[in-house]
């Protein structure tokens, strides 16, 4: 399961449509923009009924999570259901030694049960790619977060949330604050922001939580919160990821909050109309004060709401992109299932 030794699974079909979504890195700007437009189409204000369609009728989506998650898993499942798909939800605990093989056995079993789209979350960075390289030609794999490598739908929902509040990405000053080193959320957000033309992306973290110099090319780096968020349009807070800290020292909660916690006083260094984001789960009183998390500049609830819309757009895109004309729409796929393959 060493990624270096393989070609990565291709993200796109030959015609440029989306096949797998494992990272946002390298995806064409036009594709990101199309996904975001479709997500906006599916986005609804709180308090109104959610969008629905039958684009995935006859399609089966399986979520297979080996790391705990509520938000991401539920929002993928709701997205699939609101597009008319059947949904299977699988939680697995695998020993890391056997993981690759047991995972592929499980995938083959589920393929036999007509699963068309797998949504995978794993603590190891290369599991979604391994699966994507081994599925049948009509099957797509979507990452729901892999190690510290990528969380592509989170990157899209963060981008959509910024677009809804600021109308653009290019020209904004965006600070990504906290445990950047261990964060797949930060990596996917950076890929999306850079592709969409952001030029002032700042990493704001204590030295132990700052990624290596080779990563995040083009981002400015700050070691003091107030300096990093000064004049920013967007302050994107990250969770302290204790479970991923091996090399970095784990700071004490009170000590961390004293220097790095986003309080109303500190937030005053950003633009007065700056928005505050957090992917959740939040450590209140560690990386963010409750007054900020629940305050007027917080868009955290919009992020959650947009998660379903973005995942609807991605599911729709991979199903629409399936090359066989017989499989190109949910309805055709349903017919095809009843009839069997054409002779
Ligand atoms: C994140 C994740 O699991 O990557 N949560 C999420 O998906 N909304 C962020 C985190 O764990 O810090």
pTM of the predicted protein model: 0.91
Contact 144 CB / ligand 1 (< 6 Å): no
Q: What is the CATH number of domain 152-301?
A: 3.40.50.1370
pLDDT at 340: 47
Q: Which residues pair with 18 in a beta bridge?
A: 12
Say yes or no: do domains 29-150+307-329 and 152-301 share a fold: yes
pLDDT band for position 341 (cuts 50, 70, 90): very low
Contact 71 CB / ligand 1 (< 6 Å): yes
Dist CA 291 CA 253 (whole Å): 17
pLDDT at 245: 64
pLDDT at 3 over 50: no
Residue 135, φ and ψ in degrees, nearest 5? -85, 165
Contact 20 CB / ligand 1 (< 6 Å): no
Mean pLDDT of all residues in 156-179:
98
pLDDT at 81 over 60: yes
pLDDT at 91: 82
pLDDT band for position 251 (cuts 50, 70, 90): low
Contact 184 CB / ligand 1 (< 6 Å): yes
Mutation probe of ligand 1 site: the residue of 72, 119, 279, 286 with most atoms within 8 A of C-beta: 279
Between the CA of 279 and the centroid of ligand 1 the distance, in Å, is: 6
- The percent of the chain in helix, strand and coil, each rounded to the nearest 5, is 40, 15, 45
* Range scoring the smallest mean pLDDT among 25-29, 164-168, 239-243: 239-243
E strand or H helix at 156: helix 152-166
Can you say whether residue 53 is alpha, beta or left, with left for phi > 0 and alpha for psi between -120 and 50 degrees? beta
Residue nearest to atom 8 of ligand 1 (CA): 279
Cα 18 off chain centre by: 15
Extents of the domains making up the chain: 29-150+307-329, 152-301
pLDDT at 70 over 90: no
pLDDT at 333: 43
Contact 159 CB / ligand 1 (< 6 Å): no
pLDDT at 248 over 90: no
Percentage of the chain with pLDDT > 90? 80
Looking at CATH, the fold of the domain delimited by 29-150+307-329 is given as: Rossmann fold (3.40.50)
Can you say whether residue 122 is alpha, beta or left, with left for phi > 0 and alpha for psi between -120 and 50 degrees? beta
DSSP 24: S
Tell me the per-residue pLDDT of 173-184, one tens digit each, with 9 for 90 and over: 999 999 999 999
pLDDT band for position 97 (cuts 50, 70, 90): low
Contact 145 CB / ligand 1 (< 6 Å): yes
pLDDT at 226 over 60: yes
Dihedral over Cα of 239, 150, 108, 321: its sign: positive
Tell me the per-residue pLDDT of 285-332, one tens digit each, with 9 for 90 and over: 999 999 999 999 999 999 999 999 999 999 999 999 985 444 444 444
pLDDT band for position 343 (cuts 50, 70, 90): very low
Instruction: Give per-residue burial for 305-331: e unless 16+ CB within 10 Å, then b.
Output: bbbbbbbbbbbbbbbbbbeeeebebbe
Mean pLDDT of all residues in 100-120:
92
Ligand 1 atom with the shortest distance to the CA of 144: 7
- Strands 275-277 and 86-91, how do they pair? unpaired
pLDDT at 4 over 70: no
pLDDT band for position 1 (cuts 50, 70, 90): very low
pLDDT at 258: 94
Ligand 1 atom with the shortest distance to the CA of 307: 8
pLDDT at 243: 72
Contact 327 CB / ligand 1 (< 6 Å): no
């Amino acid at each position: 399961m060493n990624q270096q030794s393989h070609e990565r699974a291709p993200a796109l079909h030959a015609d440029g449509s989306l096949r797998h979504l494992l990272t946002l890195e390298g995806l064409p700007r036009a594709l990101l923009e199309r996904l975001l437009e479709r997500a906006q189409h599916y986005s609804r204000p709180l308090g109104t009924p959610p969008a629905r369609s039958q684009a995935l009728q006859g399609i089966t989506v399986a979520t297979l999570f080996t790391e705990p998650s509520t938000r991401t898993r539920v929002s993928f499942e709701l997205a699939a259901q609101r597009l008319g798909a059947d949904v299977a939800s699988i939680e697995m605990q695998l020993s890391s030694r056997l993981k690759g093989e047991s995972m592929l056995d499980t995938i083959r079993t589920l393929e036999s049960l007509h699963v068309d789209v797998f949504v995978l979350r794993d603590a190891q960075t290369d599991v979604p790619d391994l699966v994507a390289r081994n599925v049948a030609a009509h099957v797509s794999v979507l990452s729901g977060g892999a190690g510290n490598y990528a969380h592509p739908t989170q990157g899209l929902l963060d981008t959509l949330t910024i677009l809804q509040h600021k109308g653009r990405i290019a020209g904004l000053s965006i600070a990504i604050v906290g445990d950047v080193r261990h964060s797949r959320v930060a990596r996917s957000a950076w890929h999306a922001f850079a592709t969409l033309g952001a030029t002032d992306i700042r990493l704001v973290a204590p030295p132990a939580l700052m990624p290596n110099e080779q990563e995040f090319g083009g981002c400015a780096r700050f070691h003091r919160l107030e300096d990093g968020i000064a004049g920013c349009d967007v302050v994107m807070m990250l969770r302290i990821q204790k479970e991923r800290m091996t090399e970095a020292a784990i700071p004490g909660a009170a000590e961390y909050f004293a220097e790095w916690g986003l309080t109303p006083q500190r937030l005053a260094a950003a633009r007065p109309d700056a928005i505050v984001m957090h992917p959740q789960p939040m450590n209140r009183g560690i990386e963010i004060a409750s007054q900020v998390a629940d305050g007027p500049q917080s868009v955290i609830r919009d992020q959650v709401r947009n998660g379903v819309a973005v995942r609807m757009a991605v599911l729709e895109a991979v199903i629409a992109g399936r090359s066989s004309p017989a499989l190109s729409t949910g309805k055709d796929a349903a017919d095809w299932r009843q009839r069997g393959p054409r002779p």
